[in-house]
Structures are given as C-alpha cells and as structure tokens.
Structure 1
Amino acid sequence: MNSTDRQHLRRCVDLAREALEAGDEPFGSLLVDPQGQVRFEDRNRVAGGDATRHPEFAIARWAAEHLSVEERAHSTVYTSGEHCPMCAAAHGWVGLGRIVYASSSEQLGGWLGEWQVAPAPIAPLPIQTIVPSAEVEGPVEEFADEIRELHRRLYGK
C-alpha cells in the first residue's frame, strides 16, 4: 500500500459519495492500467432496480471488451468496498489483476448489524474465497470512518 494506492482509493470514496448523492448505494471503483492510467471508473447504479449494476461488475465487462488478457492481468481494481461474490466472480472470469479495497465486507456486515439493517441476499464471502489466486489488499483503516458514515446515511441511522 503506497501513496498512489491511497490516492486511487480516495477517488473511489468520492465516487461512493457521488453514488449516495444520486440515490444509489455508496460504492465506487477504478480500473488502473500497469502504467498508472485510470482506464475506467464507475459508481454504484442500483437505484433503477437492477441489483447487478455494481461498479466492479461494470469494470469487469469494460475490461473484457477493451483490454487484452495481458493488460487485464496487470491492471489494478481499486474500490471503496470489498467485492461481493458476484463482482469477485466477474473479476476472476475476465482475469483482472490486483484488488485494493478501502472497506471490507466484514466491516460492512458489522455496521449493518449494529444498525439492525437486514443483510444482503447473498453471503458476504471474502474475495479470495471466490477467486483463490486473487492478489488482494484491504481494508485500509484510514477510510473506515468515512465509508461507515456514507452507509449510515444510506440507511438513515
């Protein structure tokens, strides 16, 4: 974890805030190529009723269409929250490289439990349970309070 990683995570948290302000769940993600260029960024877009419109899933689709197998393998996905199982599977299927996340599924589950919010309809499995070979870094504690606050606002707690 270095200053560049933290800079990219900061953008992810900003995208998560944009998502929340647009009426979506607070998640944001970036795809960064091996040269350090941001190739794709997105935020959560589930408010329209399609629960699969996660930014990590959009990144996997975009990468499959626009990057070579080698480019995908050497790229990094940065995200405000650890991939759900659907997004982790998409990541693995298209062969994306390293994943760096600011907050974990375990942290989110703890916050939801504290606020007595029902859990998601799928199990919050760690990325490496879905993609055993994934190179994963996170959570990054310096973002925890800010991300917790975004989720608290989502649930009105």
Structure 2
Amino acid sequence: MITEQDLVHLRRCVELATRAVEAGDEPFGSVLVGQEGEVLLEDHNHVSGGDLTRHPELAIALWAVDHLTPVERAGATVYTSGEHCPMCAAAHGWVGLGRIVIASSSEQLTGWLGELGAPPAPVAPLPITTVVPSAVVAGPVPELAEPVRALHARSHARD
C-alpha cells in the first residue's frame, strides 16, 4: 500500500532523478527515511564519471551501515525513482534495510529502454524480491510512471 507520505518521498526521488539528468547522469534518485519519518539521506546517480556502481541505493546502504544500528536500519524505508538493480538489492538485503517503495519497476524500465533503442544493461533487470526474497516492496506508482519515463527518454536522447 502506498500512503500520501510515501508519495511525498517518491516525488522527491523524481526531483533527485531530474537533478541527476541535469548533471549528465542517469535518472535515478533515492531517499532514506528513518522509522520516525525523518529524512536521513538523499542521493542521485553519479555514474557519469565512469564508475557504474555509483547508484544512490548502494550509497544509502553503505551510509546506513556507518550511521544506523541494525534495528534502525530494519525500521528505515528506502524510496527510489526506479526499482533497485540486483547489486543495490543485494546491498539492501545484506545490510538489513527495511521497506522499499519504488516509483517505477525494472520491468517498466526495460520496456522504456527497449522503446528508446538503448542497449541492454550489463546486469539482468531482476525484481528486488528475486534477489532478496524477504524484501518488502511497495510500488510501482502509476501516476509517477510518465515523469520517470520522460526522464529516461531525456537522458538517452543525449547519448
């Protein structure tokens, strides 16, 4: 179930994804929210420098290990403009982060990129729960699909 508060954080993720595109990066943005509802960390993709592992979901997992207890990590929620890739899903599972709320799915992204003629990603676009079977995932959110798709189109138009 997606709440109004979830939508607030997901819209922020789309804003961060927009910032990423404006900086020449791929359109992904993520927010980590603590169990009391406080925003703990925001980030967007930073892969344009050549390190293709610089995903915001991985940055959140690494930050969480350094700054949160296992109980705090389990009570936190990760919001993201696009479903975690397998690398980020694995990091999420390994560090014990809680719920994940996605604006768009890997299945949607795969379809959009195919329509745009983009080459396939080097890593299979697996659902988070295939990588982390115990993960609690909410989304995608239909009302955010078009804005996220438009960001991918904008990003791939410059390639």
Q: Which residue pairs with 1:74 in the alignment?
A: 75
Q: Which residue pairs with 1:137 in the alignment?
A: 138
Give the residue type in structure 2 aligned to 1:12: C
Q: Which residue pairs with 1:30 in the alignment?
A: 31
Alignment of 1:8-27 (within 5 A): 8-27=9-28
Give the residue type in structure 2 aligned to 1:105: S
> What is the CA–CA distance in structure 2 between the aligned matches of 1:25 and 1:79, rounded to whole Å?
13
Q: Which residue pairs with 2:46 in the alignment?
A: 45
State TM-score, norm by structure 2. 0.97
Give the residue type in structure 1 aligned to 2:62: R
Cα distance, 1:114 vs structure 2: 1.2
Cα distance, 1:102 vs structure 2: 0.1
> What is the CA–CA distance in structure 2 between the aligned matches of 1:134 and 1:155, rounded to whole Å?
30
Question: What are the Cα deviations for residues 46-65 of structure 1, in whole angstroms up to 9, with x where unaligned?
Answer: 00000000000000000000
Cα distance, 1:16 vs structure 2: 0.1
> What is the CA–CA distance in structure 1 between the aligned matches of 2:152 and 2:96, rounded to whole Å?
30
Cα distance, 1:111 vs structure 2: 0.7
Identity %: 67
Q: Structure 1: 5+ residue runs without aligned partners?
A: none
Cα distance, 1:119 vs structure 2: 1.2
Q: How many residues align?
A: 157
Question: What are the Cα deviations for residues 103-145 of structure 1, in whole angstroms up to 9, with x where unaligned?
Answer: 0010010011112211110000000000000000111000000
Q: What do you get for the CA RMSD once the two structures are aligned?
A: 0.8
Cα distance, 1:38 vs structure 2: 0.3
> What is the CA–CA distance in structure 1 between the aligned matches of 2:82 and 2:70, rounded to whole Å?
25
Give the residue type in structure 2 aligned to 1:80: S
Q: Structure 2: 5+ residue runs without aligned partners?
A: none
